[in-house]
């Protein structure tokens, strides 16, 4: 949903996206008249494979988006999760190019969207804007590389814990609006396999599952089962775009289970 009448009152909203807020005032001024506030609902589709990429979307605050690769059996496996540290669509492309993967809103909230044609024009006139998005493209590629390695080398227990921690880091919320079936599809496994992993974490006291939500009760305990892929991606972001990756929250104390 597009919010009209607010597209030029953006300094406070730009604060919600770490990538945009690193721009200097004069560079941001080129983009601000063209930035639109867009409210993304859960599971809203930004792009399907083959769609013309007309807009770049910048998640703000707690908003999350994913790149998913649809498979012939109906599953859609996630390759990258993106929050306020990044953007979706038109980051490296020039001209009219189609989307390769599906882009979908994972956590509802506010996005800023910008016509790709405007972004490309800004890159041509401002070396600083061009450099920022070239650096972000490098970080995005690093996430893809790490995702490929993670899917090939790490257990489902490690990957599930990694994904849930990454979602909490980006949203600041321990309660993630997602079913086990949705998470299983994104991780490329059957629901029964994931259910066993989730049950193990529940028995350890790290997670609680409610209708349509997976809640982290003890992030420190959950982290003991996760791989180091999030930390490696964070390290690359810090080397290439220092301060853009969401700050790591301290381990959350265990939340008491509801009685009854």
Q: Are 17 and 60 in contact (CB under 8 A)?
A: yes
Residue 41: how many CB atoms within 10 A of its CB? 9
pTM of the model as a whole: 0.87
Output b/e per residue, 179-204; b: 16+ Cβ within 10 A: ebebbbbbbebeeeebeebbeebeee
pLDDT tens digits, 161-220: 999 999 998 888 899 989 999 999 889 999 999 999 999 999 999 999 998 899 999 999
Q: What's residue 3's pLDDT? A: 42
Number of Cβ within 10 Å of residue 52's Cβ equals 11
- Residue 66: count of CB within 10 angstroms of its CB: 23
Tens digit of pLDDT for each residue in 30-76?
999 999 999 999 899 999 999 999 999 999 999 999 999 999 988 88
Cβ contact 215:174 at 8 Å? yes
- Gap between the Cα atoms of 137 and 227, Å rounded: 24
* Domains in the chain, CATH or no CATH each: 2-126 (2.60.120.10)
Does residue 7 carry a pLDDT above 70?
no
Strands (E), the chain: 2-3, 36-40, 45-47, 55-59, 64-70, 76-82, 102-107, 109-115, 175-176, 207-210, 213-216
DSSP category for residue 82: E
Band (96; pLDDT cuts 50, 70, 90): low
At 257 the pLDDT is 46
SS3 43: coil
Q: How far apart are CA 117 and CA 96, in angstroms?
A: 9
What would the pLDDT profile of 97-155 be if each residue is shown by its tens digit? 789 999 999 999 999 999 999 999 999 999 999 999 999 999 999 999 999 999 999 99
User: What's the confidence (pLDDT) of residue 12?
Assistant: 60
Q: Rounded distance, CA 224 to CA 102, Å? A: 31
Handedness of CA 137, 143, 144, 149 (dihedral sign): positive
- Residues in a beta bridge with 102: 68
Q: What are phi and psi of 112, to 5 degrees?
A: -105, 135
What pLDDT, on a 0 to 100 scale, did the predictor assign at position 14? 78
């Amino acid at each position: 949903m597009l919010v009209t009448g607010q597209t030029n009152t953006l300094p406070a909203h730009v604060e919600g996206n770490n990538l945009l807020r690193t721009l200097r005032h004069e560079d941001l001024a080129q983009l601000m008249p063209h930035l639109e506030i867009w409210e993304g609902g859960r599971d809203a589709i930004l792009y399907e494979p083959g769609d013309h990429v007309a807009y770049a979307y910048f998640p703000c605050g707690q908003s999350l988006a994913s790149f998913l690769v649809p498979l012939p059996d109906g599953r859609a496996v996630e390759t990258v999760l993106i929050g306020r540290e990044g953007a979706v669509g038109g980051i490296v492309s020039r001209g009219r190019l189609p989307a390769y993967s599906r882009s979908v809103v994972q956590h509802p909230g506010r996005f800023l969207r910008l016509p790709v044609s405007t972004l490309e024009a800004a890159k041509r006139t401002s070396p600083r804007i061009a450099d920022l998005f070239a650096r972000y493209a490098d970080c995005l590629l690093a996430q893809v590389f790490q995702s490929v390695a993670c899917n090939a080398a790490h257990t489902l227990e490690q990957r599930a814990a990694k994904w849930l921690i990454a979602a909490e880091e980006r949203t600041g919320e321990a309660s993630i609006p997602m079913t086990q079936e949705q998470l299983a599809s994104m991780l490329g496994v059957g629901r029964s396999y994931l259910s066993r992993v989730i049950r193990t974490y529940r028995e350890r006291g790290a997670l609680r599952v409610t209708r349509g939500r997976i809640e982290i009760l003890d992030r420190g305990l959950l982290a003991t089962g996760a791989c180091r892929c999030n930390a490696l991606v964070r390290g690359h972001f810090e080397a290439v775009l220092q301060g853009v990756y969401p700050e790591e929250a301290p381990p959350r104390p265990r939340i008491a289970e509801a009685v009854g």
